Structure 1
Amino acid sequence: MAHGLFNLCHSTRNPLVVEGLDYGETFALVAQLVTVRLILAVASTRHWHLYQRDVNNAFLNGDLDEDVYMNLPPGFGRKWETRVWKLHKSLYELKQAPHQWFIKLSIALKQAGYHQSKADYSLFVQTRGSTFTALLIFVDDIIYKTLKQPKIARSSKGIVLSQCKYALEILEDAGQLGAKPADSPMEQNLSLSKHEGDYIDDPSSYRRLVRKLIYLTITRPDLVCAVHTMSQFMYKPQTPYLEVVHRVLRYVKRAPGQVIFLSTNSPIQLNAFCDVDCARCRDTRRSTTRCCVFLVDSLVSWKTKKQTTVFQSSAEAKYRSMVAACCEITWLQYILQDLGIKHSHAVKLYCDKQVALHIASNPVFHERTKHIEIDCHLVREKVQSGTIKTAHISTLQQPTNIFTKAMSLPQFAILLGKLGIIIIHSNLKGSVEERKIPTKST
């Protein structure tokens, strides 16, 4: 057993507490936000009841695997100065407290008859007769098909996910509440390089703003392109990137109440879109994979990631994006299975590159495919098994373009509509537009 001496008030800064010696695991599983959005979309369609519970004193219930000793707080007198307390339960100051709490809760839920999902270990489901219950664990929040943050509002037409309050807090913290609003997050055809511009004197302010904007993308996929670009230059940010940050803030100022709408009328049918931004990075010439998945009209998942290598052709890069989309589709199908939902129809996977579609369905494209890694042919296996059905889509109608391209305002507005993003607040005071859906808090 490890023996650690830890101070109640200063445990996180105590030099005597050493990872690997005084404590082991500190990681606590939390629900993935994709899982949350998928369950909320299903709940909107199936008219499930939604609840959220915050467990009081959650971390005090965890059992410790190590021997941990605590300095006595002031006031016990001089004769107690050389003595310590041995902890039998975890405390909030302990780094391993969240991990131990999740273990304790998992054991209790399994004993109560809940099944732990293998796709997302923070999801627990139980079926008793005609009653089905799904729980999502978010640190010390137990989510009964809902979430404490971001805010969730519901009406007869669907569910909206909003971070309006958080967006206004970012603007206030950055001093941008009085700034002139911008119509888009980035200028069209903007291309940046790490070799341009002067370095920022105080990079900590840039990093702080980017981190906050990353969290805002939970419900604002329209910010993904700009935030993904800015987050690549956190080490030594330069003035052009700071200007992009300020433009993003001015765009957020235009519509802080922009939300994701999860429709009630959507059947249980997954549709996916994939694309790649070929060699757009001026520094590495690597492409960026982008994909998104809908539950018919409700956006539940989106990803933007720079590819690990420079591919020989755009067809290969596009095909790699189809692989990423297939992996995401397979994972979402596992979650639906845990929720007791049968997804019997083939998932439609849309791509705007005909050659990539032919590679996925035609095994005789030898000259174009012999250099492609074997794991990429996961797409072909899914197509042959009937799990996925590929389809072509026009580049102008490709919704994933919004994740990696700064485009014209008309095209930007069209793609926002395709993503199911609406504005329920017409001003900073939060008044609801008459033409939008009425909402009420759950």
Structure 2
Amino acid sequence: MRKYGYSQSNSDHTLFLKQSQGKVTALIVYVDDMIITGDDTEEISRLQEKLAEEFEMKNLGGLKYFLGIEVARSKEGIFLSQRKYVLDLLAEVGMLDCKPADTPIVQNHKLGKYPDQVPTNKERYQRLVGRLIYLSHTRPDIAYAVSVVSQFMHAPSEEHMNVVYRILRYLKSAPGRGIMFANNDHLVVEGYTDADWAGNASDRRSTSGYLTFVGGNLVTWRSKKQKVVALSKAEA
């Protein structure tokens, strides 16, 4: 890719970019699958021809499905979801017919590590939470709940597993929910952030959360427990 004039992204080493005459071409690769996109149609065609000389390739046309992420286009924009991924996960756990939950986690929960907790199957817990972490790529609505359950991967209890099951019941209520990228005719960058103060019941650390919008579209989000104890709300 560098030989063809592309630069490798510092934030994601699987992403390669090329800018020419105000137009951008991007390639992202995962093992033997790749996406080529951009607004320079001539460069995209040239890149496909060059790559075909190096590797045996097959053009699958417009992007519809990639690594469990479904892509749908309309006049309004591009919609990303993981509906099949959610349904497959629910089927794997035997919860396709479960009763849906309205929220992914109970408000003001006191989840933590306590001496009287009953341990649960560690491998199953880690596998389910790992699947939920990947699902968070298109479901910012479960980001906080998943960040909470991921804190107990090394020694999960039945109480922690019940929260994982609640997240799955929440997903059952709307498996096709996802992210919409609309053309809003502007590229204004907006950011929102907040933190609870001493929200963790075990170590009194705060949890931070942020959202970033570009052109009115959500592009980054995160929920994570802070590494140190904050002494005040302002500090948190």
TM-score bracket, normalised by the shorter chain, equals 0.7 to 0.9
Distance change >3 Å, CA 140–CA 300, structure 1 → 2: same
Say whether 1:169 aligns with 2:88: yes
- Give the Cα–Cα distance (whole angstroms) in 2 for the partners of residues 190 and 118 of structure 1: 38
1:278–1:286 Cα contact (<8 Å) kept: yes
Look up the match of 1:234. Answer: 153
After superposition, give the CA deviation of every residue in 1:127-164 in whole Å (9 maximum; x if it has no partner).
34465322222232222136723111111101111100
- How much does 1:232 deviate? 0.8
Say whether 1:159 aligns with 2:83: no
Distance change >3 Å, CA 311–CA 201, structure 1 → 2: closer
- TM alignment of 1:122-201, pairs within 5 A: 122-129=14-21, 131-145=23-37, 148-149=66-67, 150-195=69-114, 198-201=117-120
Look up the match of 2:43. Answer: none
- Give the Cα–Cα distance (whole angstroms) in 2 for the partners of residues 183 and 205 of structure 1: 24
Say whether 1:272 aligns with 2:191: yes
Say whether 1:298 aligns with 2:217: yes
- How much does 1:233 deviate? 0.9
- Give the Cα–Cα distance (whole angstroms) in 1 for the partners of residues 125 and 113 of structure 2: 15
* Matched position secondary structure for 2:235: helix
- Give the Cα–Cα distance (whole angstroms) in 1 for the partners of residues 95 and 210 of structure 2: 32
2:132–2:146 Cα contact (<8 Å) kept: yes
Distance change >3 Å, CA 189–CA 117, structure 1 → 2: closer
- TM alignment of 1:351-362, pairs within 5 A: none
**CA RMSD, 1 decimal:** 1.9
1:277–1:289 Cα contact (<8 Å) kept: yes
Give 1 or 2: higher strand fraction.
2
- How much does 1:113 deviate? 1.8
- How much does 1:314 deviate? 1.3
Look up the match of 2:40. Answer: none
* Matched position secondary structure for 2:234: helix
- Give the Cα–Cα distance (whole angstroms) in 2 for the partners of residues 204 and 158 of structure 1: 40
Distance change >3 Å, CA 297–CA 195, structure 1 → 2: same
Look up the match of 1:288. Answer: 207
* Matched position secondary structure for 1:198: coil
Say whether 1:217 aligns with 2:217: no
Question: Out of 231, 238, 254, which is 2:173 matched to?
Answer: 254
- How much does 1:272 deviate? 0.4
Look up the match of 1:121. Answer: 13
Write the letter of the residue equivalent to 1:141: D
- Give the Cα–Cα distance (whole angstroms) in 2 for the partners of residues 198 and 212 of structure 1: 24
1:271–1:295 Cα contact (<8 Å) kept: yes
> Between the two proteins, what is the percent identity of the paired residues?
42
Q: Which moved more, 1:236-245 or 1:194-203?
A: 194-203
- Give the Cα–Cα distance (whole angstroms) in 1 for the partners of residues 71 and 102 of structure 2: 26
Look up the match of 2:41. Answer: none
Write the letter of the residue equivalent to 1:143: I
Look up the match of 1:329. Answer: none
2:15–2:28 Cα contact (<8 Å) kept: yes
* Matched position secondary structure for 1:316: coil
Which consecutive unaligned segments of at least 5 residues does structure 2 have? 38-62
Question: Out of 263, 271, 288, which is 2:182 matched to?
Answer: 263
- Give the Cα–Cα distance (whole angstroms) in 1 for the partners of residues 22 and 195 of structure 2: 44
- Give the Cα–Cα distance (whole angstroms) in 1 for the partners of residues 121 and 15 of structure 2: 41
1:197–1:239 Cα contact (<8 Å) kept: no
2:197–2:233 Cα contact (<8 Å) kept: yes
- How much does 1:126 deviate? 2.2
Which consecutive unaligned segments of at least 5 residues does structure 1 have? 1-108, 318-442
- How much does 1:260 deviate? 0.7
- How much does 1:266 deviate? 4.7
1:162–1:257 Cα contact (<8 Å) kept: yes
Look up the match of 2:47. Answer: none
1:286–1:306 Cα contact (<8 Å) kept: yes
1:279–1:287 Cα contact (<8 Å) kept: yes
- Give the Cα–Cα distance (whole angstroms) in 2 for the partners of residues 197 and 220 of structure 1: 33
- TM alignment of 1:23-422, pairs within 5 A: 109-129=1-21, 131-145=23-37, 148-149=66-67, 150-195=69-114, 198-317=117-236
Write the letter of the residue equivalent to 1:117: S
Write the letter of the residue equivalent to 2:66: K
Write the letter of the residue equivalent to 1:168: L
Q: Report the count of equivalent residues.
A: 209
- Give the Cα–Cα distance (whole angstroms) in 1 for the partners of residues 116 and 36 of structure 2: 49
1:156–1:264 Cα contact (<8 Å) kept: no
Distance change >3 Å, CA 124–CA 189, structure 1 → 2: same
2:120–2:156 Cα contact (<8 Å) kept: no
Look up the match of 1:79. Answer: none
Distance change >3 Å, CA 175–CA 158, structure 1 → 2: same
